[in-house]
Copies of this chain bind each other. A is one copy, B any other.
């Protein structure tokens, strides 16, 4: 890869220079008053980005995966049952984490490329009259397959039987790039990281807890210390942390929220939609298909593109890196070798997207696929210049 070219992996994303500089700050005494001026605006900004008024935000020096662990270890107890669909690499990992923590997971297997089956969830929840299911786990955007699931529909499925389970949502590759309505969807814990929609380096687990999730903390007995929300809450009240905070990343997060809110969240989402549609129009022009099986599932933050039967999709990723110095995402897990991924989340312009489309065209042609050079670019250009 070349640091001059944009990256097209589905996170970490390209980073605006202003955010890199916000992160790269000199040492600031995290026990001084100046730290409060970083911490509280960052917390407030995240609340706005996930659209919650009643939730509380907690930020750990960790990653999105640590955010998952925060979500379950603070709200659940060993032996608790949770419901989850497995429709990609990241939902699969979260299920694994639950199992290692002694939770009983009712797994709904779903073909990779499909979304969360809200109807099936509704059935299972309706049948759970004893309310053994304590939490529903939902991956908003499956980064591995480029599939966005309908969280509002999951909420409807829960409400249909007035099920009291918590709704824990992985918004790692959606929040900040796609609409996320924590309060409206009554999400109980929303989880993300710093390196996607917030356009920062990896290093933060960002969690928002609803009042209901906060109440669940009191009875949850899974062991926790590093990810304990209670200590974090005490710390924040005193403008501090239970341990040394990653001051620079928090400063970056504050600035990232400022950037997103200054552009306007709806404008940010529209930009990502526009760029994503351009990419998808290119895919059509190439005669290829997305991994996502229907348009309602198309993600605006990442496109997983299926290559022809018998062709190793990983070759595109390797070739692009070696010959052109550009990074794309490889297929993971069940779709390894079958798809390559173009990340279009975070900090991206139409102009940058065009170079990503143009380069992958060259790669496919180089590798013998029947691709007409410029075809995908032209389709995207027409969309970008008129949308």
On A, residues with C-beta under 8 Å from B are: 1-7, 9, 11-17, 20-21, 23-24, 26-32, 34, 61-66, 69, 73, 78, 96-97, 100-102, 193, 195, 201-203, 222-228, 242-249, 321, 324-327, 329-330, 347-352, 354-355, 358-359, 361-362, 365-366, 372-375, 377-379, 381-382, 384-385
Partner of A321, one of B29, B102, B247, B362: B29
Q: Which residue of B lies closest to A372 (CB)?
A: B378
What are 24 A-B residue pairs whose CB atoms fall within 8 Å in the complex?
A: A1-B28, A3-B16, A3-B28, A4-B349, A5-B349, A13-B27, A17-B26, A20-B24, A20-B26, A23-B24, A27-B201, A61-B63, A61-B202, A62-B226, A64-B244, A201-B247, A326-B351, A354-B354, A354-B358, A358-B377, A358-B381, A361-B381, A366-B385, A374-B377
Residues of B with C-beta under 8 A to A375:
374, 378
How many copies are assembled? 4
Residues of B with C-beta under 8 A to A203:
61, 203, 246, 249
Closest Cβ of chain B: how far from A218's Cβ, in Å?
14
Known contacts A203-B249, A246-B201, A354-B355; is A12 also within 8 Å of B24 by CB?
no
CB–CB B1/A14 < 8 A? no
CB–CB B228/A100 < 8 A? yes
CA distance A61 to B12 in the complex (A): 14
Q: Which residue of B lies closest to A34 (CB)?
A: B1
CA distance A349 to B356 in the complex (A): 13
CB–CB A32/B321 < 8 A? yes
Interface of chain A, main secondary structure: loop
Closest Cβ of chain B: how far from A385's Cβ, in Å?
4
CB–CB A358/B351 < 8 A? yes
Partner of A15, one of B6, B26, B225: B26
Q: Which residue of B lies closest to A223 (CB)?
A: B101
CA distance A63 to B223 in the complex (A): 18
CB–CB B247/A12 < 8 A? yes
CA distance A13 to B26 in the complex (A): 10
CB–CB A24/B24 < 8 A? yes
Residues of B with C-beta under 8 A to A222:
223
CB–CB B4/A27 < 8 A? no
Residues of B with C-beta under 8 A to A24:
20, 23-24
Q: Which residue of B lies closest to A31 (CB)?
A: B330
Q: Which residue of B lies closest to A248 (CB)?
A: B201
CB–CB A96/B244 < 8 A? no
Known contacts A61-B66, A225-B97, A385-B365; is A3 also within 8 Å of B26 by CB?
yes
